[in-house]
Amino acid sequence: MAEHPPASGGTERTQTGALAGPQHGLLRRGFVLEFATLGWNVVGIVVLAVAAVGTRSVALAGFGLDSLSRLARAPWWSGSCRAPVRTVSAGPCG
C-alpha cells in the first residue's frame, strides 16, 4: 500500500514539535516583520504624543490613541500564529 505525502505541504515537525521546512522560514520572516512594524509604531506614538502636547491638538492625540490601540492588539494576533499546523485528510477514506 502506497503512503500519502504529508497534507501540510511538505512541512513536518521535529521531535520537539517545532516546524521544519519552508513554513518555518516564512513564519520566522513574518514575526520579524511584525516586530519591526511594532517598533516603528512605538516611535510613531512617541512622536505623535510630543506633537499633540506641543500643539495642543486633539486630532493628533486621537490619531496617537488609534495607533496605541493597534499596538495593544498585536500580541493577540502574534499568538494566533503559534497554533499547531493541522493536516487535512485526503477524504473520508483517507
- Tell me if 18 is assigned to some domain: no
pLDDT at residue 53, as a whole number: 95
Q: Which three cell numbers stand for residue 25?
A: 522560514
Residue appearing with cell numbers 522560514: 25
What domain range includes position 48?
Answer: 38-78
Is residue 55 domain-resident?
yes
The answer as to whether 44 is a domain residue is: yes
User: Is 46 inside a domain boundary?
Assistant: yes
Decide if 53 is inside a domain.
yes
Q: Assign 92 to helix, strand or coil.
A: coil
When divided into structural domains, the chain yields a total of: 1
Q: Please give the pLDDT value at position 4.
A: 47
The Cα 62–Cα 49 span in angstroms is 10
pLDDT, residue 94, reads 47
**What local confidence, expressed as pLDDT, does residue 65 receive?**
92
Query: pLDDT at position 13, please?
Result: 56
* Residue 58 in domain: yes
Residue 56: per-residue pLDDT:
96
From the first residue on, what is the mean pLDDT of each consecutive set of 10 residues in the chain (94 residues)?
50 56 82 88 93 95 90 71 53 51
